[in-house]
Amino acid sequence: MHDNRKVRLLGVGARLIVSLIALVTASAAWSEYPDWNDYVDVKVIEVITRDEGGGERETKVWFVLLGGEPYLRTSGSRWLANLRRDPDFKVRIDGTLYEARAQEIEGEAIVEKVAIAAQRKYGFTDRVIGLFRSSEPDILRISPRATPSP
């Protein structure tokens, strides 16, 4: 009986150690949220969202930084609908995948600030695309996901 207790205690201890290792590994991966200032010169990133049916949607988008924080701009896109349904998503920057969360930001002031930053970063191409925009764009701020996905 004494040996059985030791075996059970060892089993519990081993499971606890495995759980702790998994937790530390997840935390280490999560701590790798990007310093967006390192990517200021990157022109295109990939936003990976989930469609209503559960499939992944990868969309290449432009982004701008305001005060070191990344912002996206879109108008009525499918990936925007996905983020409205579930604001947690993944972003790929220069081949590295990060977990993130989108927050829709409203107001004319932010729309104007993002427009100015986009014109500075993307120049003439941004101005031309703006000519075809039929409505005020939606603005999203990217932030770290509160908890990593399973």
In this structure, is residue 149 part of a structural domain?
no
| Prediction pTM value | 0.75
Domain hosting residue 115, numbered range: 36-144
| Co-location of 11 and 42 in the same domain | no
Is residue 104 located within the same domain as residue 45?
yes
Per-residue confidence of the chain (150 residues) as pLDDT tens digits? 566 665 454 554 545 454 444 444 343 344 478 999 999 999 999 999 999 999 999 999 999 999 999 999 998 899 999 999 999 999 999 999 999 999 999 999 999 999 999 999 999 999 888 888 878 999 999 999 876 555
* Statement to judge: residues 111 and 41 lie in one domain: yes
The residues with which 104 forms a beta bridge, in sequence order, are 140
Please check whether residue 65 is in contact with residue 42, taking contact to mean a CB–CB distance below 8 angstroms: no
Residues 125, 58, single domain; the answer is: yes
Do both 20 and 49 map to the same domain? no
Residues 15 and 80 in one domain: no
Total domain count, the chain: 2
* 93 in a structural domain: yes
Look up the CATH number of the domain holding residue 90: 2.30.110.10
- Is residue 13 situated within a structural domain? yes
